[in-house]
Amino acid sequence: MRIVDLATADQDFIAEVEARSHQNLRTCYQCGNCTAGCPYTFVYDHSVSQVMRLIQLGQREVVLQCKSIWLCASCQSCTTRCPNRIDVAKVMDVCRHMAREQGYATEREVKLFTDAFLRSVERHGRAFELGLMADYVLHSGRVFTDVDLAPKALARRKLAFRPHAIVGRDQIERIFQRFRKGGAHV
C-alpha cells in the first residue's frame, strides 16, 4: 500500500475544494454515515468517507484520479445523513469539476455521456434522447450498450425520432455561452 506523506498535504487543493463547495471540510469527523447510506459504494474505489478523508489530507492526485467522484449519482443520501451538515454530494461534484479541468476522466464513459447530454441540451434546450444516444455511441464506440431496452422504450413512446425544441431555447444557449465566457473549459 502507498505511504501517504502527511507533510505533502496540498493545502491549496483543500482550500479550493472548500471555497468552491462552500463547505467546511474540517467539520468531518469520519463517522461514516455518508458511506453507510451511499447506494454506489459497491462500485467505488474509495468510499465517500475515504474521499472526504483524502481531501482533508490534501491528496489532490488520489482524489482527482479516483473513480468514485465519477460514479457518484448525486442522490444526496450522504448530504441528508451527514451529522455535521456537510453537503457531501456537493463536494463530490466539485471534485468531478476539478478533475475535468485538470484533464482527468478516470471513468471515461461517464464523462462522455455527460458531454453528450450537455451538447443535446445546448442544441435543443432539452435532452433529445435518440440524438443523445447516437452522440454517445459515436464517441464511446459502445454500440450495443442498452440497445435491448430500445424496443420497450419505443413501444411506450419514450423515444422520439425528431428533436423537440423547447420555447426559449435561445435562453438555454445563452447559459452555455455565458459559461464559456467565464473562462472555464470543459
Partner 1 sequence: MRIGVFICHCGSNIAGTVDVVAVAQAAAKFPEVAYATDTMYACSEPGQEAIVQAVKEHQLDGVVVASCTPRMHEPTFRRTVERAGINRYFFEMANIREHVSWIGKNAERNTVKAIELVRMAVEKLRRNRPLIPKRFDVVKRVLVIGGGVAGIQAALDCADGGQEVVLVEREQSIGGKMAKLDKTFPTIDCSSCVLGPKMVDVGQHPKITLHTLAEIESVSGYVGNFQVTIRKKARFVDWSKCTGCGLCMEKCPSRKAPDPFNEGLCTAPSINIPFPQAIPKKAAINPDTCIMKQKGKCGLCAKICPVKCIDFDQQDELVTVDVGAIVVATGYDLFDWHKYPQYGQGRYPDVITSLQYERLLSASGPTGGHIKRPSDGKEPKTVVFIQCVGSRDRSVDRPYCSGFCCMYTAKQAILTKDHIPDSQSYVFYMDIRSPGKGYDEFTRRAMEEYGAQYVRGRVSMIYPKGDQLVVRGADTLAGTQVEVAADLVVLAVGAEAARGAVTLGEKLRVVPDQYGFFVESHPKLKPVETNTAGVFLAGACQGPKDIPASVGQGSAAAAKVLALLSKDQLESDPQVSRVTPARCVGCGKCVQTCPFGAIKLVEDRFGNPKAEVVETVCQGCGICTVTCPQGAIQLEHFTDNQILAEVNALCPPRIRVNYAS
What is the binding site for partner 1 (CB under 8 A)?
27, 29-38, 41-42, 46-47, 49-50, 77, 81-85
CA-CA distance, 117 to 160, in Å (whole number)? 16
CA-CA distance, 99 to 66, in Å (whole number)? 9
Grid cell, residue 130, equals 435518440
CB closer to partner 1, 85 vs 181: 85
Q: How far is the CB of 35 from partner 1 (least distance, A)?
A: 4
Q: How far is the CB of 87 from partner 1 (least distance, A)?
A: 12
CA-CA distance, 19 to 44, in Å (whole number)? 25
Q: How far is the CB of 121 from partner 1 (least distance, A)?
A: 33
CB closer to partner 1, 30 vs 74: 30
CB closer to partner 1, 46 vs 100: 46
CA-CA distance, 54 to 9, in Å (whole number)? 9
